[in-house]
Amino acid sequence: MKQKETLLNMKENKHIVDVDDHSFNGSVETPLRADAFDLDDELKIELIQKHFKEIMLILGLDLTDDSLKGTPNRVAKMYVQEIFKGLKPSNKPTVALFENKYQYKQMLVEKNISFYSNCEHHFVPIIGRAHIAYISNGKVVGLSKLNRIVRYFAARPQVQERMTVQISNELKEALQTEDIAVLIEADHLCVASRGIQDITSKTVTCEYSGKFLDQKTREEFLKYVQM
């Protein structure tokens, strides 16, 4: 019943929120509506398909063409099941910690973690690499979990600065340590493919905490990243 009511409201355009009315307060959290999870994935795909079809028609595209007629459904499924799946909390990777039996007390660096995200201002791709380091407080984690955390926060409309802090905060909580470093370098297609059309510039953001606030520790991390 709740989904039917939400669908009815959306059909009446009551779901549209002006930016000035949005409750987002500059938090590091991705700005989501209070009813963000009232619709299941199947209904979201149905609605996005319908609206994207309207966009294509407005652009003058012939949706009877064999190449185009399936595009609204493909885009809808891609949005919900793939490139924006990081909006759904249940898709957050679980992290299991293990005892640091090797007594390894130096930093562990996982670099060149590739990711694809989307700029929330124009909904065009951000393509980048993340470099992560942590110093164990007695626990370690499977390396692939670091990649999964990066890609979880990348799989949503993003701002690179926010994504950097989100990954850092999640790693601190998951690894139970403040000794975390995150550095992200990325190409933004909103810069490269439109507007200024600069294909050579990169955006770099970083977040340091714990022992990485020390200059020597930070320089060691950056040396490993540049190797």
Between vectors from CA 217 to CA 214 and to CA 223, what angle results, nearest 5°? Answer: 135
Q: Among all residues, which ones are annotated catalytic?
A: 119-122, 160, 188, 190
Do the Cβ atoms of 100 and 107 come closer than 8 Å?
Answer: no
Which residues, 6 or more positions from 80, have their beta carbon under 8 angstroms from its beta carbon? 41, 44, 45, 48
Spatial separation of the C-alpha atoms in residues 94 and 144, rounded to whole Å? 11
d(CA 177, CA 73): 43
Among left, alpha and beta (phi > 0; psi -120 to 50; other), residue 173 is alpha
Q: Which single residue is written with the structure tokens 């064999």?
A: 66
Q: Are 113 and 132 in contact (CB under 8 A)?
A: yes
